[in-house]
Structure 1
Amino acid sequence: MKKNNPSMINAWCMYDWANSVHALVIVSSIFPVYFSATALSASGTAETNFLGIHIKSSVLFSYTVSASFLITALLIPLCTAVADYTGKKKNFMKFFCYTGAVSCMLLYFFTKDTLTAGVFLFGLSLVGWSGSIVFYDSYLPEIATEENYDRYSARGFSMGYLGSVLLLLFNLSMILAPQFYGITHKALPARISFFTVGLWWILFAQIPFHYLPAGKSAKKKAGNWVFNGFAELRKVYLQLRGQPYLAKFLSAFFIYTMGLRTVMYVATIFGATELKLPSQSLIITVLLIQLVGIAGSYAFAWLSGRIGNIYALMIGVAIWVGICMGAYYTTQASEFYVIACMVGMVMGGIQSLSRSTYSKLIPENVPDTASYFSFYDVTEKLAIVIGTFIYGAVEQLTGSMRNSILALLLIFIVGLVLLYRIPSRKVYHFQLETNKN
């Protein structure tokens, strides 16, 4: 297959456009606010009864995220093994996409009376979203050459930000001016928003599904495919011993992802529960993060071209350390907005650069990139599981989200130290050329 084909690259980027509405509307903005307002006790406190367990709604939210990504981490190796065996990678991408999208659409029925079902649907939407991403990411080395990884990865994230903002603006118009749409029920605009996420996701996903190749020829493997997925992970893990830079990067990626992705899932809950910010302010704040994130993705792609991926990632993680310090002392809405702008600048940039950096470090001529990205994805999902669990557990034990922020601060510091151990490939190649001359 010819690489760097503009039509193929644009079609690949359109999956970011399609699925990013889940990250914005369901994970970061409207759903967390709706969840906080719905999961209240009879006395109006931020507590609820879930499966007979009395728990704070914010802790339940964190634990749901943890459980969902743990399930994904267990499923992905099995699914990539089947995809490798059958040569139908795109079919698995479709399966997870439709699972997540339909779950979002069913959240339309999420009310106080259907809290348990709503929590499970939210978790299932996370499984569908995260499961589809591993197959989506694995296409990058197949459709692009290494010098374009940073640029195309940034383009995908930027398109995701832009597309999700457009849908959020429409959803915000329903929430802020329901009478314009003839809506009289107070909770209905939010529930319609959940439905539109699933519809948007399915419709725009048809573009990459049409253009992307189905997958490479099937590999006839001996043994049961149920165990082949974990065997592939073990194979990749053993190969890491001969690739010290890749192993060190994955260690650092695992740690700083704990903090980064946890912030993505709990930032709105923090604003609603700890700072008591009104719903409209929280949603507009998240919208601001997305707009700044578009510039941030391209800024980090440019920065990596000047100083190398590793140094650019170090700058991003160092900024995250500052964000956590600022968030710990935040008490005013204006301070929260400043922190949100900083989050937007580095969130998309680090995610985009992490994906492209890993693509660069994968050995050349690897016959199956899905196996390597399965390892990458499982690493990311386990980081989210541990990060969100730590956040929820610290809050549950201490009674304060601010203490959870301190835990994230320590996580980012460790991630920064681990990145420092990795030499920048840009500097490394420059030194080699200098020595030759």
Structure 2
Amino acid sequence: MRKNDPKIINAWCMYDWANSVHALVIVSSIFPVYFSATALKASGTAYTDFLGFQIKSSVLFSYTVSVSFLITALLIPLCTAVADYSGKKKRFMKFFCYLGALSCMLLFFFTKDTLVPSILLFGLSLIGWSGSIVFYDSYLPEIATEDKFDSYSARGFSLGYLGSVLLLIFNLSMILAPAFYGITDKALPARISFLTVGLWWILFAQIPFKYLPAHRAAKQKSGNWIFNGFAELRKVYFNLRQQPFLAKFLSAFFIYTMGLRTVMYVATIFGATELKLPSQSLIVTVLLIQIVGIIGSFTFAWLSGKIGNIFALMVGVAIWIGICTGAYYTTEAMEFYFIACGVGMVMGGIQSLSRSTYSKLIPENIPDTASYFSFYDVTEKLAIVIGTFIYGTVEYLTGSMRNSILALLVIFVFGLILLYRIPSKKAYRYQMQDSEN
């Protein structure tokens, strides 16, 4: 297959356009606000009855994210190994895409009387979203040359930001002016927004599903696919052990992702609970993050070309440390908006650069990129599990989300230290050539 084919690259980037609405509408803006309000209506207090347990709604939200990504982390390695072995990577990507999108659409029925099944649907949407991403990411080394990884990855994230902003503006218009659409039920616009996310996701996913390569030829079957899948994972594991540069990057990525992705999932809850910001202000804040994020993605791609990927990531993590420090002392809405701009600038940039950096570090001429990306994906998902669990537990024990922010600050400091320990790629390649000689 010819690499850097514009048609295939643009189709690949369109999956970011398709799925990013979940991260914005479901995870970061409308759903958290609607969830908090509905949980309050259902119980009349800050605590919610979930499967017989009385738990604070914000903690329940964090733990739902943790459990969902733990399930994904356990499930994805098997799926990616089987996908590589059978040559049906796109089929797995479709399955998780449709699982996530249909779960979002069913959230249309989320009311105070359907709280428990709606929480479960939210969890399934996270599993579907995160499951499809690993197969999506694994296409990058197959369709592009290494010198294009940063720019193509940034293009995908930017399209994701742009597409999700467009849908959010439409959904926000329904929430702020329901009479214009002939809506009298105040809760209906939010529920319609969940439906639109699923429809948008499925509709635009058809573009990459049509143009991305269907699959490689299946490997000759010699035994059970599942066991052969685990054998493939074992092979990748031993390959990783022989690549210290890649292992060090994954360690650093694991730590700073604990903080970064946790902020993504709890920022809206923090604004609603700690700062008591109105729903409209919170949603507009998330919209601001997305718009600034478009600039941030390309800024970090440009910065990596000037100072290298690792140093660019260090700059981003250092900014995150400043953001956490500012968030701890934030008491006013304007301060929260200023911090949101900082979050937008580094959030997409670091995610985009992390994906392209890992793509560069995968050994050349590796046919089974899905198995390699399963390690990347599991690392990310376990980081989210631990990060959101720490955040929720610190709040549960201390009663304050500000103390949870301090915990994230410490996490980012450790991530910066681990990045500092990674040598330049030129030094690493020289080391490897020297050892081979």
| 1:323/1:343 contact within 8 Å kept | yes
Question: Match of 1:377, as an amino acid?
Answer: D
Question: Match of 2:38, as an amino acid?
Answer: T
| 1:59/1:392 contact within 8 Å kept | yes
Which residue of structure 2 lines up, in the alignment, with residue 148 of structure 1?
148
SS in 1 for 2:331: coil
SS in 2 for 1:269: helix
SS in 2 for 1:204: helix
| 1:30/1:190 contact within 8 Å kept | yes
Point out the more displaced range, 125-134 or 72-81.
72-81
Alpha-carbon distance in 2 for matches of 1:336, 1:154: 26
Alpha-carbon distance in 2 for matches of 1:28, 1:229: 35
Verify: 1:186 aligned to 2:202, yes or no.
Answer: no
SS in 2 for 1:183: coil
Deviations 1:219-248, CA, capped at 9 Å, x for gaps: 135343333444333322211222111000
Which residue of structure 2 lines up, in the alignment, with residue 220 of structure 1?
220
Which residue of structure 1 lines up, in the alignment, with residue 21 of structure 2?
21
Alpha-carbon distance in 2 for matches of 1:233, 1:411: 29
| 1:175/1:189 contact within 8 Å kept | yes
* Residues 1:427 and 1:337: Cα distance change in structure 2 (over 3 Å): farther
Question: Match of 2:388, as an amino acid?
Answer: T
Verify: 1:247 aligned to 2:244, yes or no.
Answer: no
Question: Match of 1:356, as an amino acid?
Answer: S
Question: Match of 1:408, as an amino acid?
Answer: L
Verify: 1:74 aligned to 2:84, yes or no.
Answer: no
Alpha-carbon distance in 1 for matches of 2:301, 2:147: 11
Alpha-carbon distance in 2 for matches of 1:61, 1:105: 19
SS in 1 for 2:40: coil
Deviations 1:301-335, CA, capped at 9 Å, x for gaps: 00000000000000000000111111111111011
Which residue of structure 2 lines up, in the alignment, with residue 39 of structure 1?
39
Alpha-carbon distance in 2 for matches of 1:364, 1:429: 13
Unaligned runs of 5+ in 1: 433-437
Deviations 1:233-267, CA, capped at 9 Å, x for gaps: 33222112221110000000001000000000000
- What pairs with 1:31-430 in structure 2 (closer than 5 Å)? 31-40=31-40, 44-425=44-425
Point out the more displaced range, 302-311 or 73-82.
73-82
Alpha-carbon distance in 2 for matches of 1:73, 1:306: 34
TM-score of the superposed pair, with normalisation by structure 2: 0.96
| 2:270/2:401 contact within 8 Å kept | yes
Alpha-carbon distance in 2 for matches of 1:242, 1:117: 45
Unaligned runs of 5+ in 2: 433-437
Alpha-carbon distance in 2 for matches of 1:378, 1:371: 11
Question: Match of 2:297, as an amino acid?
Answer: S
Alpha-carbon distance in 2 for matches of 1:407, 1:220: 49
Alpha-carbon distance in 2 for matches of 1:150, 1:43: 48
| 1:308/1:427 contact within 8 Å kept | no
Deviations 1:335-394, CA, capped at 9 Å, x for gaps: 100110000000000000000000000000012101100111011111111111111111
| 2:296/2:345 contact within 8 Å kept | yes
Q: Percent identity?
A: 84
SS in 1 for 2:48: strand
| 1:78/1:225 contact within 8 Å kept | no
Question: Match of 1:220, as an amino acid?
Answer: Q
Which residue of structure 2 lines up, in the alignment, with residue 435 of structure 1?
none
Alpha-carbon distance in 2 for matches of 1:345, 1:228: 43
Deviations 1:123-173, CA, capped at 9 Å, x for gaps: 000000000000000000000000000000000000000000000000000
Shift of 1:87: 1.0
Point out the more displaced range, 80-89 or 383-392.
80-89
SS in 2 for 1:40: helix
Alpha-carbon distance in 1 for matches of 2:181, 2:156: 33
Shift of 1:420: 0.3
Question: Match of 2:179, as an amino acid?
Answer: Q
Verify: 1:7 aligned to 2:7, yes or no.
Answer: yes
SS in 2 for 1:39: helix
Question: Match of 1:138, as an amino acid?
Answer: S
| 1:8/1:143 contact within 8 Å kept | yes
SS in 2 for 1:267: helix
Question: Match of 1:94, as an amino acid?
Answer: K
| 1:297/1:348 contact within 8 Å kept | yes
Deviations 1:75-122, CA, capped at 9 Å, x for gaps: 111211221232111011000000000000000000100000100000
Alpha-carbon distance in 2 for matches of 1:363, 1:99: 32
SS in 1 for 2:415: helix
Alpha-carbon distance in 1 for matches of 2:431, 2:239: 26
Alpha-carbon distance in 1 for matches of 2:379, 2:62: 19
Alpha-carbon distance in 2 for matches of 1:153, 1:199: 24
TM-score of the superposed pair, with normalisation by structure 1: 0.96
Shift of 1:431: 12
Point out the more displaced range, 74-83 or 278-287.
74-83
Alpha-carbon distance in 1 for matches of 2:63, 2:184: 34
Which residue of structure 1 lines up, in the alignment, with residue 435 of structure 2?
none
Alpha-carbon distance in 1 for matches of 2:233, 2:321: 32
| 2:293/2:344 contact within 8 Å kept | yes
Question: Match of 2:98, as an amino acid?
Answer: Y
Question: Match of 1:355, as an amino acid?
Answer: R
